[in-house]
Each structure stands twice: as C-alpha cells, then as structure tokens.
Amino acid sequence: MNELRKIVVDLIDLTEREWLFFSTNLKIKAYKAKTQIVKEGSVAKNIYFIESGLVRTYHLHAGKEINTYFACDHQFISTFSSFINQSPSFETLETIQDSVVYELSYQFLNQMYKESRKFEKLGRILAEKNYLCVLDRTYTMQTKTAKEKYLDFIQNYDEKILRNVPQYQIASFLGIEPESLSRIRKEISST
C-alpha cells in the first residue's frame, strides 16, 4: 500500500486523516492468473490499483479476443466505460498473472468526491490520464504502420508487460496478426 499512498499523495497532497479515510475503505484482493475480475455483460463496480501482477482488458469480436489494455504493478485499471456509467461492460477484465489489487468501489469514490475537493481532483486526474491514453492509442492505431505500432509499444509499455504478455495478445492489442508481429520482431532483432 506504500506505493499507492505515494502515488495518491503526490497527485493530491492528502493529510494523514484524509489518507486514513481513503485507505480504510480500500479492499485488498488476490486473484489467480486467468481470473475474470469483470466479465463482459456485468457492471464494473470497482477501479483497481495493482499492487503486483499483470491484468488486461479485452472484448470479443466475431469470436476473437481483441485486447484493449494491459496494466501491471502500481497502475490503475478497470473496464472504465462500465465503471463510469455503471452499465454492462462490453469488455472483460482478466488477470494474466497472479495479482494483488486494491479495490476502490464506485460508491465509495462518489462518497469521497462529496467529502473533499481533493478527491474530486484525484478522479479528474485519473480520468484525464485515461483519456490521454485512449487518445494516444487511437492516434497510433490510425496513423502508424505495424512496425511503428510495435516500436511504440516496446518504448512506452512497462518491461513487465513486454516480458510476460503472450505475443498473440500483444498482436491483438496492436491490431495485427501474430505472424506479422513475429516477422516484425525478427526484423528488429536482426538490425
């Protein structure tokens, strides 16, 4: 929880009392690899801070998994559209590795917003970061070649993600076929 505290305090400069209010309402959970934390069609009730582990979001299109996000240690994740709107999720949130997370419920988040403008600021900052991530991903997907997408991915994503996410899931995330990703990786390693 020390890492979560550092991140939150750096973002919104909480007092000890505010941190206690925040931290005592978090729930710690441990999930085994390949656990579906949020299933497609269910409502996301929580946002998660990953203490340790590796998690992804994906949806099915014509029976094929389309990966939409990867997160690991000290990052936040949820099926954000479902969480924000409290509506059925079109995505699944699943662990890739055994993971320990802190859950922050939608109800408590809204209670925090009422308690303090600092918590509203935290929500705004997380929403802004999520928006910028989506904007960057959209730009990348629409304007870059397959090789440029992969180079962007290896430059901008955590080493743990690069080492531990199966290549077929990375290919899906980049919108390319696994065979194309293998060819690109081979080309890059030979240069």
Residue 55, pLDDT score: 98
Residue 124, pLDDT score: 93
CATH top class, domain 2-116: mainly beta
Residue 115, pLDDT score: 85
What does the mean pLDDT of the chain come to? 95
The C-alpha atoms of residue 187 and residue 191 are separated, in whole angstroms, by 7
Q: Which of the residues in the chain have pLDDT under 50?
A: none
* 3-class DSSP state of 175: coil
Residue 150, pLDDT score: 97
Percent of the chain with pLDDT over 70: 100
- In sequence order, the 6+-apart residues with CB closer than 8 A to the CB of 170 are 67, 150, 153, 181
Pairing label, strands 36-38, 92-95: antiparallel
Residue 6, pLDDT score: 93
Amino acid letter, residue 174: L
Residue 66, pLDDT score: 96
Residue 77, pLDDT score: 96
pTM above 0.85, yes or no: yes
* 3-class DSSP state of 159: helix
* 3-class DSSP state of 125: helix
